[in-house]
Amino acid sequence: MIPLLSFSVIKIALMASSAFLVAFLLTPWLTTILYKYKLWRKQVRQEAMGGGGLPIFKKFHQEGEIKTPRFGGVLIWITPPLLALVFFLLSKTGNPWFKELNFFSRSETWLPLATLVAASAVGFLDDILQVLSAPTNRLLRSLWEEISKYTAGGLSLRLRFTLVSLIGLAGAWWFFGKLGWDSVYVPFVGDVFLGWLMIPFFVLVMLATYSGGVIDGIDGLSGGAFASIFTAYGLISLSQQQIDLATLCFAIVGAVLAFLWFNIPPARFYMGETGIMGLTATLTVVAFLTDSVMVLPIIGILLVAESGSVIIQVASKKLRKGKKVFLAAPIHHHFEGKGWPSTKVTMRFWIVGIVAAFVGVAIRLIG
């Protein structure tokens, strides 16, 4: 008989490695489609958030912007739900091993899996609108041009934030209305009662986490960042005996690592909004499910730095008559502008992210 903890580790390791293998094997099929239909931007972005040009971005990323497809995030949001479905069905065969390997559970993984698929679907729509060319058929072209008046370049930032807010509201209702959560745990302090404020707080965290998605700007950067973040939350879940949730977290890590294999320079594809939206929204749900949302800014320090640099840059341009704090924002482009090779930026950011993840896990477990 294998001890419970040992079997839990085996289950997690098996799902993580299976997710990597499945996503890895799906990649040739995905890339064939992406390159066959040229699913990349047709024009380089011309304007930064808050106004102004993008000289540093164009200097280092102009060619990749219009020659490298998006949609790499499809690997990340298809693989964990696929594994969950397969092992759920296998568990119905009556085999005790398959029953134990099933990680599709109402209390731990239904909500994050639903969030992963829903948010990724919104991101997928945005990616589609960014890369598709106008159809040649006259009637369809006319319809396309009408739609493009409102969606040129993809979904507007306001619309994306609105849709993320709606997903957040659904998650907040589940936590507050269904599960009865009305407080958050603050390390070294204890539970802090929020009552109905739990709902706007949940939405605010999801929006803040999504804003960190601007990290997807250098080959390999976002994959390494999210791998360390979900590993940290997988460890926290495991320590709290939330085995199914830990299994899901590590299945996501496995899929992210398969994506990263093909995203390191030169990138075969980019993650795109379909990956960023799914990962950031799911991360928010996982942080609340583990009652560890207060260490999210530490574990996700790279997301905070990326989002914060954009906010500071935009505010500076607005309040200081166009003056900038950084050479470029998000901050990874600032370091490129200072002469760092993109590989140096990526690997040093990875190191910061891994160390911050260790610190965040330690604070949550000790506090």
The residue among 71 and 321 whose pLDDT is bigger is: 71
The residue among 43 and 147 whose pLDDT is bigger is: 43
Look at residues 11, 139, 122, 28 and name the one whose alpha carbon lies nearest to residue 75: 28
38-52, 107-121, 177-191, 318-332: lowest mean pLDDT where? 38-52
pLDDT of the residue at 39: 87
Enumerate the H helices of the chain as residue ranges: 4-36, 55-67, 74-91, 96-101, 110-131, 138-151, 157-173, 198-211, 221-239, 243-263, 272-289, 296-299, 301-319, 331-337, 342-366
Residue 319 has pLDDT above 70, yes or no: yes
pLDDT in tens, 267-286: 999 999 999 999 999 999 99
Name the pLDDT band for 303 (thresholds 50, 70, 90). Answer: very high
Residue 141 has pLDDT above 50, yes or no: no
pLDDT of the residue at 288: 97
Distance CA 218, CA 157 (A): 21
46-55, 235-244, 324-333: lowest mean pLDDT where? 46-55
Which residues fall within 8 angstroms of residue 45, CB to CB, at 6 or more apart? 54, 57, 65, 153
Name the pLDDT band for 63 (thresholds 50, 70, 90). Answer: low
Look at residues 105, 152, 131, 125 and name the one whose alpha carbon lies nearest to residue 246: 105
Distance CA 184, CA 140 (A): 50
The residue among 98 and 279 whose pLDDT is bigger is: 279
pLDDT of the residue at 217: 84
Residue 64 has pLDDT above 60, yes or no: no
Name the pLDDT band for 41 (thresholds 50, 70, 90). Answer: confident
Residue 2 has pLDDT above 80, yes or no: no
Q: Compute the chain's Rg from CA coordinates.
A: 21
**Mean of pLDDT values over 20-37:** 95
The residue among 79 and 333 whose pLDDT is bigger is: 79
State the residue range of the domain holding 246: 4-366
Largest CA distance in the chain: 70
**Mean of pLDDT values over 30-46:** 81
Residue 133 has pLDDT above 70, yes or no: no
* Percentage of residues of the chain with pLDDT beyond 90: 70
- Structural domains in the chain (count): 1
**Mean of pLDDT values over 18-45:** 89
Average model confidence (pLDDT) across the chain: 88
pLDDT of the residue at 134: 46
The residue among 320 and 221 whose pLDDT is bigger is: 221
Residue 166 has pLDDT above 90, yes or no: yes
pLDDT of the residue at 76: 95
Look at residues 209, 207, 216, 208 and name the one whose alpha carbon lies nearest to residue 71: 216
Distance CA 186, CA 181 (A): 14
Residue 135 has pLDDT above 80, yes or no: no
